[in-house]
Chains A and B, each alone.
Chain A
């Protein structure tokens, strides 16, 4: 310590030893886990909303979507401090002369643009979507979806290039000792701090889904129990422009398509049918979910009433009174249509549905994303 520090050691101290490969490796590992989880749960959400022909989205377990979608927003939120910290740790590699040593190296460095830009865009756009802020003209879900594929492809390139060094840097005694610069305690303090920020951010933004953490979720998009009948609303009747038609006494529920008997039922007809109660969550794609007690008519009972063969593999399109909008209709596959808890719900906790929750009747089924729990239902088309 009495030795006069050289320029190099001074610079290293001043520039922080945390710009090292081992710290980058830990953050990279954490980012791999959070982005991987976010990507998989995002794919799951996409399968739930736009199932391709080869995939039958399951109806059970009933809470699966609320879990996967919470994990999606939580892992994305957790990744924000991780990604910023990672970019800080490696920033000194950005300016480099010559920019690349070889064609292959140039390709590797070029792939960092979709990786860094795509990763930042995914976290930014997801966070903005939860805040309902759309400073762009594209349709968020699809742009987010395709950007995720591009980013994950770039991530595969990066992981391929860096896997060996990451493994080496995390060894107790790396083969290349220059991978480690910071002291163990400095690194632990830094990484522990980043992890704490990650965790705190997840609680602040998405802890509200777990009622006991409701008051800590100061940045939550919702508040547990706030909304008509204690349930938050995504699209109001006014925004959907259905207030008049939904309250019209001439309301009829039509069941048609591939049926033996076309049905046209009034609200009183529906109420007179044998009902069923089920406790199911509304699980929003934006991460919040809340379970309430629904009561209504089983969709499979309506199909039986219309003379649909109970063994037939049918698909049911559920249409809303809503005149327009991407989510004015949704589809029940045969598993969902036959599930005993797939209801045309008429009541929440013994009261008729609030008009913002879909009065006179809304679809509610297990494991479905909120946007597919169609409100103000006027027609079931069997095919």
Chain B
């Protein structure tokens, strides 16, 4: 969709081979779900599967893209890779810990199940993530200042990450033309 630079990545022969293997497997799974319909509730399961894709493609991904753009404007370019990783880690941790923090699965008669304070756990994990990001930036900063040759005896002089990009993108960035839908 992005014009001539989008490479063609589908192999026709490979796809046919994949269909020969994959379609019977998908049919087996679908048949199984309907054979056990009383327990599997295939219609509901189907709604979950389609819903997961729809929620990801129409809500989660656009939100991540918008947040990413906004954050990228706020963060200086040379800090961005570390900040991006920190944001991704924070988002994933928040998603995964959500049901734990809410305590949906707690059961009063079983204190050995979900025994931790997950809100504190999430907070501690987030602190650890951003400390790691800070450490990453500190190391990066030192390496930049000392230059690649001075760092770690004998290390081959590798160009520091994204130096070229940093220099180019330091000017004001005009928003791109909207991409074709």
* Complex contacts, B24 vs chain A, CB 8 Å: 153
Q: Tell me if B105 and A131 are in contact (CB < 8 A).
A: yes
Chain B nearest CB from A21 CB (Å) reads 6
Interface 0/1 of B41-64, CB less than 8 Å to A: 100110011111110110011001
A10: interface (CB < 8 Å): yes
Q: Tell me if A146 and B29 are in contact (CB < 8 A).
A: yes
Most B-side CB within 10 Å, residue of A114, A218, A233, A234: A218
A61: interface (CB < 8 Å): no
Q: With A1-B167, A220-B116 in contact, is A142–B109 under 8 Å at CB?
A: no
* Complex contacts, B9 vs chain A, CB 8 Å: 21, 161-162, 165, 169, 179
Q: With A133-B99, A200-B89 in contact, is A153–B28 under 8 Å at CB?
A: yes
Q: Within B74-131, which residues are at the interface with A (CB < 8 Å)? A: 81, 84-85, 88-89, 92-93, 95-97, 99-100, 104-107, 109-116, 118, 120-122, 124-125, 128-129
Interface 0/1 of B16-43, CB less than 8 Å to A: 1111011111111110110010011100
A80: interface (CB < 8 Å): yes
- A-B contacts counted at CB < 8 A amount to 308
Q: Tell me if B29 and A163 are in contact (CB < 8 A).
A: no
* Complex contacts, A121 vs chain B, CB 8 Å: 45, 48-49, 52
Q: Within A75-128, which residues are at the interface with B (CB < 8 Å)? A: 77, 80-81, 84-85, 87-88, 91-97, 104-105, 107-108, 111, 113-114, 116-118, 120-121, 124-125, 127-128
Rounded to whole angstroms, the CA-CA distance of A11 and B175 in the bound complex is 8
Within the complex, which residue of A149, A159, A232 is in contact with B112, where a contact is CB–CB below 8 Å? Answer: A232
Within the complex, which residue of B22, B50, B168 is in contact with A154, where a contact is CB–CB below 8 Å? Answer: B22
Count residues of B near A (Cβ-Cβ below 8 Å): 98
Interface 0/1 of A322-365, CB less than 8 Å to B: 00000000000000000000000000000000001000000000
Q: With A80-B92, A94-B57, A127-B96 in contact, is A157–B167 under 8 Å at CB?
A: no
Number of chain A interface residues as a range: 35 or more
* Complex contacts, A151 vs chain B, CB 8 Å: 29
B142: interface (CB < 8 Å): no
- Segment among A223-231, A260-268, A299-307, A368-376 that sits at the interface with chain B: A223-231
Q: With A146-B40, A219-B121 in contact, is A197–B92 under 8 Å at CB?
A: yes
* Complex contacts, B21 vs chain A, CB 8 Å: 153, 156-157, 160
Q: At the interface, is chain A mostly helix, strand, loop or mixed?
A: helix
Within the complex, which residue of B33, B50, B52 is in contact with A143, where a contact is CB–CB below 8 Å? Answer: B33
Chain A nearest CB from B73 CB (Å) reads 10
Rounded to whole angstroms, the CA-CA distance of A77 and B11 in the bound complex is 31
Q: Tell me if A165 and B22 are in contact (CB < 8 A).
A: no
Q: Tell me if A138 and B29 are in contact (CB < 8 A).
A: no
Q: Tell me if A222 and B115 are in contact (CB < 8 A).
A: yes
* Complex contacts, A160 vs chain B, CB 8 Å: 11, 14-19, 21-22
Within the complex, which residue of A91, A93, A107 is in contact with B19, where a contact is CB–CB below 8 Å? Answer: A107
Name the CB-closest residue of A to B167: A1
Rounded to whole angstroms, the CA-CA distance of A175 and B73 in the bound complex is 36
* Complex contacts, B132 vs chain A, CB 8 Å: 196
Name the CB-closest residue of B to A141: B39
A56: interface (CB < 8 Å): no
Rounded to whole angstroms, the CA-CA distance of A113 and B53 in the bound complex is 7
Q: At the interface, is chain B mostly helix, strand, loop or mixed?
A: helix
* Complex contacts, A222 vs chain B, CB 8 Å: 112-113, 115
Chain A nearest CB from B74 CB (Å) reads 15
Within the complex, which residue of A128, A149, A190, A220 is in contact with B28, where a contact is CB–CB below 8 Å? Answer: A149
* Complex contacts, A205 vs chain B, CB 8 Å: 96
* Complex contacts, B2 vs chain A, CB 8 Å: 92
Interface 0/1 of A279-296, CB less than 8 Å to B: 000000000000000000
- Segment among A181-189, A245-253, A313-321 that sits at the interface with chain B: A181-189
Rounded to whole angstroms, the CA-CA distance of A190 and B180 in the bound complex is 26
Name the CB-closest residue of B to A232: B112
Q: Tell me if A178 and B5 are in contact (CB < 8 A).
A: yes
Name the CB-closest residue of B to A160: B18
Q: Tell me if B97 and A152 are in contact (CB < 8 A).
A: no
Q: With A14-B176, A232-B112 in contact, is A139–B81 under 8 Å at CB?
A: no
Within the complex, which residue of B1, B28, B115 is in contact with A92, where a contact is CB–CB below 8 Å? Answer: B1
* Complex contacts, A132 vs chain B, CB 8 Å: 104-107, 113-114
Query: CB within 8 Å of B: which residues of A?
Result: 1, 5, 7, 10-11, 13-15, 21, 77, 80-81, 84-85, 87-88, 91-97, 104-105, 107-108, 111, 113-114, 116-118, 120-121, 124-125, 127-128, 131-133, 136-139, 142-143, 145-165, 169, 176, 178-179, 183, 185-186, 189-190, 193-194, 196-197, 200-201, 204-205, 218-223, 226-228, 232-236, 238-239, 356
